[in-house]
Amino acid sequence: MTSPFAPGIVSGRLTPDDLARNFGDLHPPLDAHEAHVAADRCYFCYDAPCVTACPTGIDIPLFIRQIATGQPEAAGKTIFDSNILGGMCARVCPTEELCEEVCVREVAEGKPVEIGRLQRYATDSVMATGRQPYVRAEPTGKRIAVVGAGPAGLACAHRLAMKGHDVTIFEARDKPGGLNEYGIAAYKTPGGFAQAEVEWLLTIGGITIQNGKALGADLTLEALQAEYDAVFLGMGLGGVNALAVDGADLPGVGPAVQFIADLRQSPDKGALAVGRNVVVIGGGMTAIDAAVQSRLLGAENVTIVYRRGREAMSASTWEQDLAASKGVRILTHVQPLAVHGTGGAAEIELEYTSDVGGKLTGTGETFRLPADQVLQAIGQKLAGETGLTLEGGKIAVTGPGRTSLDGVWAGGDCALGGDDLTVTAVAEGRDAAEDIHSKLMAEG
Amino acid sequence: MADLTTDFLGIKSINPFWLASAPPTDKEYNVRRAFEAGWGGVVWKTLGSEGPPVVNVNGPRYGAVYGADRRLLGLNNIELITDRDLYVNLEEIRRVKADYPDRAVIVSIMVPCEEDAWKAILPLVEETGADGIELNFGCPHGMSERGMGSAVGQVPEYIQMVTEWCKKYYSRPVIVKLTPNITDIRKPAAAAHAGGADAVSLINTINSITSVDLDLMAPQPTIDGKGSHGGYCGPAVKPIALSMVSEIARAEETRGMPISGIGGITTWRDAAEFMVMGCGTVQVCTAAMTYGFKVVQEMAAGLSQWMDEKGYASTADFVGAAVPNVTDWQYLNLNYVTKARIDQDLCISCGRCYAACEDTSHQAIWMHEGRVFEVNDAECVACNLCVDVCPVEDCITMERLPGGTVDARTGKVVSDEYANWTTHPNNPMARAAE
Ligand SMILES: Cc1cc2nc3c(=O)[nH]c(=O)nc-3n(C[C@H](O)[C@H](O)[C@H](O)COP(=O)(O)OP(=O)(O)OC[C@H]3O[C@@H](n4cnc5c(N)ncnc54)[C@H](O)[C@@H]3O)c2cc1C
Ligand SMILES: Cc1cc2nc3c(=O)[nH]c(=O)nc-3n(C[C@H](O)[C@H](O)[C@H](O)COP(=O)(O)O)c2cc1C
Ligand code: SF4
């Protein structure tokens, strides 16, 4: 084992036991009794606000009642009817900003029904059977290409397969799952859940995944359009915004998403190198996850620096509190000026900012923090050129994901609208599938 | 601290809380511990005739109905009377009574419906020095198949006959325990009264099947693939027991007859409710079986505090106080008009009242923009359903319309006068108001 205080970017700062504990389940599953007690708190509200707040519109009061009456599998089916990745969403949704935020018991008592954990209980019950409650409709003979095996692409493919269409997913990476596999924090989805979920989802049949096939490199949109009856694009945001300061090219400086992807792919967390002093730049979920996981790997000092105030951070208050509870320091109204070091990052130079009427300016007051590792999490962007009309850097869509090209749909992070959450990607993929189905069936 | 000392039929106990005849009172060991915990009295687990005792099943004897968090709401049992030797029980009763002169010790008895059987056992019970006897005419399972328990309790003539034998061969108070498995509870109570009973106690357990095992296709508890109905008790039976108690308390033939109330009593409040309905003492079984003997401490402290708050010096001050207010439907004041009112500050916008009223009542609740719920007086019939389904206490209340105001639903001016169905113009039998 390396000393926790070893300088530089090194591996093995913590014991295997500590690492195992740190990367265990953030919210352990409910057991049957706990689930009953939690389910009993649901009031079965009329026109329940939680349903409206769920981007996939899961019938939450119904599924909770099904848990209460002793049928978690039926509850699971209610969830999957609206959201086939309900298992992942149960783990990663920021419920404190979605369903649980508007739960009448949150409003009344500050203690919502534990919808997320109940959802996990129900979906786990179904997945434990190894079966899914859906069968394919009669084959339609229609063939659809889906680009990207992330939440949007998978949800779209599943719904299309259910309707009897044949789906081929082209995925640039080696494994399906998108950010479920490469992005989401390890402690939210431990135990290889992302791959297990994809395997379970594929048991519907009619879906083929071709890994290592990237649109732009290995395929063109024109070719897909020519060969398939419809195309759905769900390739997320493959590019990262670059850090435009001096020293950004020093070893030790890199994108947070890459750090997280490496972490997710490493079976042995002890082999992962992390700095003693880590500085993360950004204010979103990625910044939080990179910072928290750096701490969990054993970094001594982890600081998030964000150029505006806390209220402007896209990470929820709950996420910010989680980071604080893991010992991450959040500095706001601070922007990076330069990274210093010889042969590798050693310090980051920062400047205070003032935010007047939305206009951000440096105050001129600067300071430095030790930083042997700098992770930039200042946003992802669409990678590659599709020839489609863009808006705000994303693929412009109308209604259920229709792009500027006839026969081409898009959804998830790569498309305009939505919150850049797993659950919105699922909703958009599903809705596009319904639209594709209607369109193809109308064409005959 | 109010004085909880109770005098029931001349039997004194330190409080009105007695343990009902059941497993908690099955033997000396339990009863001593119950008295140490603070119970005012016990009705000993029912004794049978001399000779080989009954046997119980050797599989499960209880079934349960649960509320949230596995809170036991109803318990069902197929247990019989004591399965221990008569003389062992009698000796234990004698010892316990001698050691606890300030507690009530009542002996429950169930022997065949023959004069000789009663003539044989009563002197033996008398010798123990116990304060009185309770005739178990209630057990609805097992014993009833043998012509005892509820098989007797369902035939008023038998009740009267056996009660008369007891009064003939036993000198101390005789309490008749009634079965609720009967259409009109006033009949057996009147028969006990006619037979000379000093008091009635009720209710014994209600015929029940709590659940069915859907794999075995058999009632639960299941004994080797079969089940039998049992007797139901616990919080779930309280409303039934209270109603039966009130019927006896106000019936002409039995009015004023001492009553020991039983059925689902779990808290001091339950006990107080039975007492104001006419019960001089209360008996508890399931609450003790669920939480242990210690529950009596909450009951005693609670009743005492409530008495202090109300200014009652002794239990006799309020026993029966609610009986005059139990009446027939036909005498309820039809000019008492109320409307539901929703307190917007307390409302948490769950919409349960809306679903209930809109789907199953009178479509009298509006759902406004932003999940604001409001009562439409023009439709509200004041049924109270919204109040009952609202998860927030006192959020919805019933407000009386003062005389002189117009009821938006009927368009009529509300009158201050009392007027009931007997004189209502829609009543074909209406007597002209004098
Ligand atoms: C670090 C991090 C943490 C997050 N945490 C949460 C969280 O806790 N909760 C939450 O709800 N959301 C979270 N999100 C957001 C969430 O992961 C995304 O909104 C969601 O995954 C978007 O789904 P998608 O299908 O649109 O895209 P992605 O999940 O990005 O999937 C796109 C897929 O397309 C593939 N692809 C890309 N380009 C091509 C190409 N040219 N050809 C073929 N395939 C291609 C990719 O390899 C990938 O598999 C997080 C995001 C990040 C980055
Ligand atoms: C397991 C069990 C055994 C019982 N045995 C007797 C009995 O032997 N004699 C009797 O009079 N009542 C018997 N009862 C009925 C109780 O005395 C009491 O009337 C009934 O349980 C209702 O009161 P509760 O709701 O407080 O339990 C028994 C009840 C139970 C649960
Ligand atoms: S009292 Fe009955 S009718 Fe009136 S608002 Fe409530 S539920 Fe509706």
Pick from B70, B351, B392: CB nearest A46: B351
Domain count of chain B? Answer: 2
Does residue B337 form part of some domain?
yes
Do B347 and B317 belong together in one domain?
no
| Residue in B310, B273, B266, B331 with CA at minimum distance from that of residue B292 | B266
B385 and B350: one domain? yes
Q: Note whether A299 and A276 are within 8 A (CB).
A: yes
Domain that holds residue B203: 6-325
- Average the pLDDT over B41-54 and give the result: 95
Q: Is-cis flag, bond preceding B342, omega within 30? A: no
Which value, to the nearest 10 degrees, does the dihedral of the CA atoms of residues B223, B225, B226, B227 take? 60
In this prediction, what percent of chain B has a pLDDT beyond 70?
A: 99
The CA distance from A323 to A256, in Å, is: 15
Q: Does residue A254 contact residue A286 with C-beta atoms inside 8 Å?
A: no
In ligand 1, the atom with minimum distance to the C-alpha of A173 is 47
User: Averaged over B66-89, what is the pLDDT?
Assistant: 94
Q: What is the CATH number of the domain that holds A301?
A: 3.50.50.60
Q: Which of helix, strand or coil describes residue B136?
A: strand
Q: Which amino acid is at A219?
A: L
Residue A82 structural domain:
32-127
pLDDT at B138 over 50: yes
Pocket flag, ligand 1, residue A345 (CB < 6 Å): no
Active-site entry in B139, B285, B357, B380:
B139
What is the per-residue pLDDT across A269-326, written as a single tens digit (0 to 9) for each?
989 999 999 999 999 999 999 999 999 999 999 999 999 999 999 998 999 999 999 9
Cβ contact, residue pair A108, B348, below 8 Å: yes
Do A270 and A198 share a structural domain? no
- A286 and A325 housed in the same domain: yes
In Å, how far is A30's CA from the nearest CA of chain B? 14
Q: Are residues A79 and A176 in the same domain?
A: no
Q: Whole-angstrom Cα distance, residue B135 to residue A122?
A: 52
Last residue of a domain, one of B295, B325, B355: B325
Which of A359, A376, A393 is the C-terminal boundary of a domain? A376
d(CA A222, CA A224): 5
Q: Are residues B241 and B355 in the same domain?
A: no
List of E strands, B95-160: 104-109, 132-136
* Residues B94, B181 within the same domain: yes
In a domain, A110, yes or no: yes
Q: Above 50 in pLDDT, residue B434?
A: no
Task: Please indicate, yes or no, whether residues B303 and B334 belong to a single structural domain of this protein.
Answer: no
Which residues lie closer than 8 Å to B373 by C-beta, 6 or more apart? B342, B347, B349, B351, B353, B354, B365, B366, B367
pLDDT band at A81 (very low <50, low <70, confident <90, very high): very high
- Ligand 3 neighbourhood includes B78 CB (under 6 angstroms): no
Q: Which of B68, B350, B354 sits opposite A104 (nearest CB)?
A: B350
Average pLDDT, chain B: 95
Residue B432 has pLDDT above 70, yes or no: no
| A348 and A271 within one domain | yes
- Regarding whether A36 and A100 lie in a shared domain, the answer is yes
* pLDDT top residue among B170 and A392: B170
Confidence of residue A419 (pLDDT cuts 50, 70, 90): confident
Give the torsion through C-alpha atoms of A99, A100, A105, A110, to 10 deg.
-150
Q: How far apart, in Å, are the Cα atoms of B37 and each of B19, B44, B291, B299, B300?
A: 12, 17, 13, 12, 11
Share of chain B above pLDDT 90, in %: 91
Tell whether the model's pLDDT for residue B139 goes beyond 70.
no
Task: Tell me how far the alpha carbon of residue B137 lies from the centroid of ligand 1, in angstroms.
Answer: 73
Q: What is the pLDDT of residue B433?
A: 47
The answer to whether residue A133 sits within a structural domain is no
User: What are the tens digits of pLDDT across the range A29-67?
Assistant: 999 999 999 999 999 999 999 999 999 999 999 999 999
Residue ending a domain, choose from B325, B344, B360: B325
For residue A232, list its beta bridge partners.
A146, A409
Say whether both A52 and A169 belong to one domain.
no
A426 found inside a domain? yes
Within a domain: A165: yes
Q: How many CB atoms lie within 10 A of CB B53?
A: 18
Q: A293 in a domain, yes or no?
A: yes
| Residue B347 phi, psi dihedral angles, 5° rounding | -60, 135
Same domain, A176 and A225: yes
Pull the structure tokens for residue B400: 């009386």
Element of type H or E holding A4: none
Residue A255, CA distances (Å) to A145, A268, B30, B250, B369 in order? 30, 21, 72, 84, 46
| Whole-number CA gyration radius for chain A | 23
Between residues B42 and B58, the one the model is more confident about? B42
Q: Tell me which ligand sits closest to the C-alpha of residue B63.
A: 2
pLDDT for the residue numbered A42: 96
B353 and B402, same domain (yes or no): yes
Least confidently predicted of A15-24, A178-187, B397-406? A15-24
- Clarify whether residues B134 and B262 are in a common domain: yes
Task: Give which of A108, A164, A106, A115 is closest to A136, Cα–Cα.
Answer: A164
Same domain, B250 and B232: yes
Residue whose C-alpha is closest to residue A216's, from A144, A142, A148, A143: A148
Min Cα–Cα distance to chain A from B68, Å? 6
Best of B66, B345, B348, B368 to disrupt the A interface by mutation (most A CBs within 10 Å)? B348
Instruction: Copy the structure tokens of residue B211.
Output: 């659940």
Q: What is the ipTM of this complex?
A: 0.79
Give me B413's structure tokens. Answer: 């001016």
The answer to whether residue B299 scores a pLDDT higher than 70 is yes
Out of B303, B325, B347, a domain closes at B325
Mean pLDDT of B6-13: 97
* Same domain? A43 vs A93: yes
Residues A112 and A197 in one domain: no
Are B365 and B319 in the same domain? no
Task: Take atom 4 of ligand 3 and give the residue whose Cα is closest.
Answer: B380
Which ligand ends up closest to the CA of B110? 2
Let me know whether B306 and B399 are in one domain: no
- Only one residue has tokens 């996850």, namely A289
Computed over every residue of chain A, the mean pLDDT equals 95
C-beta separation of B76 from B66 below 8 A: no
What confidence score (pLDDT) does residue B379 get?
98
A8-23 in b/e burial notation, b at 16+ Cβ within 10 A? bbbbbbbeeebbeebb
Does A52 lie in the same domain as A91? yes
Q: Tell me which residue in B68, B69, B354 faces A46 most closely, judged by beta carbons.
A: B354
What angle, rounded to 10 degrees, do the helices at B186-194 and B156-169 form?
A: 30
- CATH number of the domain residue B290 falls in: 3.20.20.70
- Establish if A2 belongs to a structural domain: no
Closest ligand 1 atom to A177 CA: 49
CATH number for the domain spanning A111: value is 1.10.1060.10
Counting ligands in written order, which one lies closest to the CA of residue B356?
3
Q: What are phi and psi of B155, to 5 degrees?
A: -120, 100
Q: Is A136 contained in some domain?
A: no
The answer to whether position B273 is within a domain reads: yes
State whether B68 and A104 contact (CB < 8 Å).
Answer: no
Same domain, A244 and A329: yes
Phi, then psi, of B128 in degrees rounded to 5: -70, -20
Chain B residues near any Cβ of chain A (below 8 Å):
68-70, 348-352, 354-355, 367, 371, 391-392
| B383 tagged catalytic | no
- Any atom of ligand 1 within 6 Å of the Cβ of A425: yes
Residue B1 lies in a domain: no
Number of domains in chain A: 3
* C-alpha span between B172 and A122 (Å, rounded): 62
DSSP label at residue A241:
-
Q: Is A406 helix (H, G, I), strand (E, B) or coil?
A: coil
Distance A180 CA to ligand 1 centre (A): 7
Band (pLDDT 50/70/90 cuts) for residue B431 is: low
**Claim to verify: residue B308 and residue B374 sit in the same structural domain:** no
Query: Are B59 and B75 members of one domain?
Result: yes
Ligand 1: residue whose CA is nearest its atom 3: A184
SS3 for B51-75, per residue?
CCCCCCCCCCCEEEEECHHHCEEEE
Torsion of CA A99, A102, A103, A107, to 10 degrees: 150
For residue B264, count other CB atoms closer than 10 A to its CB: 26
**Per-residue confidence band for A245, with pLDDT thresholds at 50, 70 and 90:** very high
Distance CA A438, CA A431 (A): 11
- Mean pLDDT calculated for residue range B58-82: 92
On the question of pLDDT at B354 being above 90, the answer is yes
Atom of ligand 2 nearest to the CA of B62: 1
Does A10 map to a domain? no
Same domain, yes or no: A212 and A260:
no
A384 against B196, higher pLDDT: B196
Residue B183 inside a domain? The answer is yes
